Chains A and B, each alone.
Chain A
């Protein structure tokens, strides 16, 4: 993946977004039943994906109550957990996905 240059120029930033924007995101959101926190997380993730990764993301929402084996296989500790499998590196975003800034860092949507 291309290393975006650090710059505060708006155009440069948009361009880098365009460049990075070719990759397909594979995301898994692990939730624990239909709790208010799960619901908020699903809504927030969907919104961010639609706004930033429209057309180039796969999002799977998995209830680990239904598939507890996955919790071990996927090394899930906290809930909700959003795992960015692709592009690499692998990232785990935990929480109800309200901290937009952290999500952008985690999903590498924001230039560092």
Chain B
């Protein structure tokens, strides 16, 4: 068996794997389909079996230097080449480069007469010759079951098919055998009996008028593989299968902060904005400005020179650009500089899974740093709650693991609880901004607050959210006994407050003047009392003097009388 570097050897199991090169396919098969063995790809008509097989060969020839043989039992080589030319595969070029051989096995039942015992050695020789002539490592048989339509002897056919698959294994080529799905069986003629190493089922299901292609690995001997149904997409680039991403929560997180594009909002989140690689949800009822916040964020990202991918499920790109221009956000230059890409599509155009695959693909191609999905709620129209949630969790995981900041808007229905998202997706979000209508005084205004923001200190305040000509502005709301006031009510309240303040000022001044006056009056009274006091002192002094004079006069009079009476002189000298 070939051990070239392109057939990878799994470290824990000794099974050679052959990379298909189909996007996502090698992830879910843990490295590719079994190398050197046949793999059965079955599915109903039109589900992409032939395309998958062709891609396997084309990638083999181009990417892995493994030439291939395509044995077609249905379409002619010319038809095949034409059919896949639209996917950018030039089969004729590969054929002339000896990297591919197309062999159309045509069976006309009308031409054939069975005249006894036979075998399919002719087919073996053809295949063998083709394989050997270009050293093919890959073989496709599409759809070998057509033999059952051309040849009547089923027992010979079965024996020969068994022999063919053994022979392919012995030849060491990696083969894809396609088979049409039968009633209750994987293939109409039970090919799964012979090809037992790996069986892949393709499916094209219609639910609610929307088709989704799905792929499932039914069986893979000797290897671990994803067991789920994986949606896949056929577009102008071929097949892409959505790989498993939700296996673990192991993505590295960044502590880098990026601006939301609204400086006041950054302030509310510790002054720095969102975390890079986090998921942000903005929910609000209709017309609360979700798209404006999203556009601000996109604008800020482009300003930093980062690429931004905007998925619009409601408005066309030109409509978004026009509307955002009205609030001073000009997105058009960013589109011209290829920093911004608005991908607008009606949600109902595909199934949910197809959307997801498409988004993955676009993200891989555009390599944005910021992805905006506006609004995420529109996807509900095309899936059940659990489907939407699972799809979103896969999307968020995918974006997070790629360090892409995801921004979702969520339309809440009026009447429903605001702090509740449609499908409980809030638990998937790191930052949740809530926009709400505040209806006071016969007007509606917008309020914004941060409901949660993981890993950062954030403001608990409601801010009034204004859409101005120069973008979004957040202002403090008036908090008073009547509750939160916004808009005109806030302005009125502010005026009222100012008036009250003026009044108060005047009152105080008046009081002050009164006190001055009173103090002046008291002062005057003090002065009056003082003079009274002085007056009474003078009176007192006068009285004292009078009395002294009187006493003196009295003593003099007495002495005079005593002298006159010649009275005994009081023994003064005794």
Contact = CB atoms under 8 A, between A and B. Distances in A.
A94 B113 contact: yes
Interface in A51-84: 64-65, 68-69, 71-72, 75-82
A61 to B, nearest CB: 15
B129 A32 contact: no
A65 B111 CA distance: 23
B76 to A, nearest CB: 11
A74 B103 CA distance: 12
B113 A91 contact: yes
B125 interface: yes
B126 A99 contact: no
B122 A37 contact: no
Nearest to A95: B116
Interface stretch (A1-9, A10-18, A20-28, A101-109): A101-109
Contact of B122 (A76, A95, A102, A105): A76
A18 to B, nearest CB: 24
Secondary structure dominating the interface of B = mixed
Interface string B96-130: 00000001011110011111111111110110111
A106 B118 contact: no
Contacts of A64: 121-122, 125
Contacts of A99: 114-116
Given A95-B114, A103-B113, A75 B106 contact: yes
Given A32-B122, A76-B126, A90-B111, A96 B116 contact: yes
Contacts of A30: 122
Contacts of B466: none
Contacts of B120: 77-79
Contacts of A97: 115-116
Secondary structure dominating the interface of A = mixed
Contacts of A71: 122, 125-126, 129
Nearest to B129: A68
Interface in B391-413: none
A32 B121 contact: yes
A89 interface: yes
Contact of A68 (B106, B116, B125): B125
Contacts of B150: 77
B95 interface: no
Nearest to B150: A77
Nearest to A100: B115
A76 B126 CA distance: 8
B484 interface: no
Contacts of A72: 103, 126, 129-130
B115 A78 contact: no
B258 interface: no
A53 B331 CA distance: 86
A81 B130 CA distance: 20
A102 B114 contact: yes
B151 interface: yes
B147 interface: yes
A71 B119 CA distance: 14
A80 B118 contact: yes
Contacts of B108: 92
Contacts of A92: 108, 111-113
A98 interface: yes
A42 interface: no
Contact of A37 (B112, B117, B123): B117
B122 A96 contact: no
A69 B118 CA distance: 20
Interface of A: 30, 32, 37, 41, 64-65, 68-69, 71-72, 75-82, 89-99, 102-103, 105-106
27 contacts: A32-B121, A37-B118, A68-B128, A71-B125, A71-B126, A75-B106, A76-B125, A77-B147, A77-B150, A78-B122, A78-B123, A79-B120, A79-B121, A89-B111, A90-B111, A91-B111, A93-B113, A93-B114, A94-B112, A94-B151, A95-B117, A95-B118, A96-B118, A98-B115, A98-B116, A98-B117, A99-B114
Chain A to chain B: the 3 pairs with minimum beta-carbon distance, closest first: A95-B116, A106-B113, A76-B122
